[in-house]
Amino acid sequence: MDQFMERAVELAAENVRNGGEPFGAVLVKNDKQVAEGVNELHQRFDMTAHAEIQAMRKAQKMMHSHELKGYTMYASGEPCPMCLTAMYFAGVDTIYYGASSEDALDAGLGKAKAIYEELQKPKSERTMEMVHMPLRDGQEDPMQLWKERS
């Protein structure tokens, strides 16, 4: 298992040398590496192109499935709220990580810690405004369509 964390850290260091952020990830199933990724947001201009999500995208595309039950993620850094949530949705079983959110903050990469704190607040106290807009009268309800389909 140490080999997978070593690879995640190796990917992160290589990414820094290539102009990216210090994050690498390795997705594993049954003690075999399935996919890996690095933060590519600087290349793709895509805020969702984090290392863990990139590894998950590769595996899911290869398997033609969004399910990752039975998988383990090795990440060079503690996953941000977006990556953690994606792993919950996909069903990843275990996450091993190297650097903590506090380590990232010390390195000048402090968004994850701040977002974790923000998400603990009630919606009304968050800095990003969220406004609920119910369906208009007569508008088709996609949730109802889903229920009927299921």
Burial class for 4, CB neighbours closer than 10 Å (0-12, 13-18, 19+) = buried
Given the residues 36, 52, 118, 140, select the one marked as catalytic. Answer: 52
Token pair belonging to 121: 């607040």
Token pair belonging to 88: 């919950």
148 as an active site residue: the answer is: no
Token pair belonging to 85: 């949530």
Active-site positions read 52
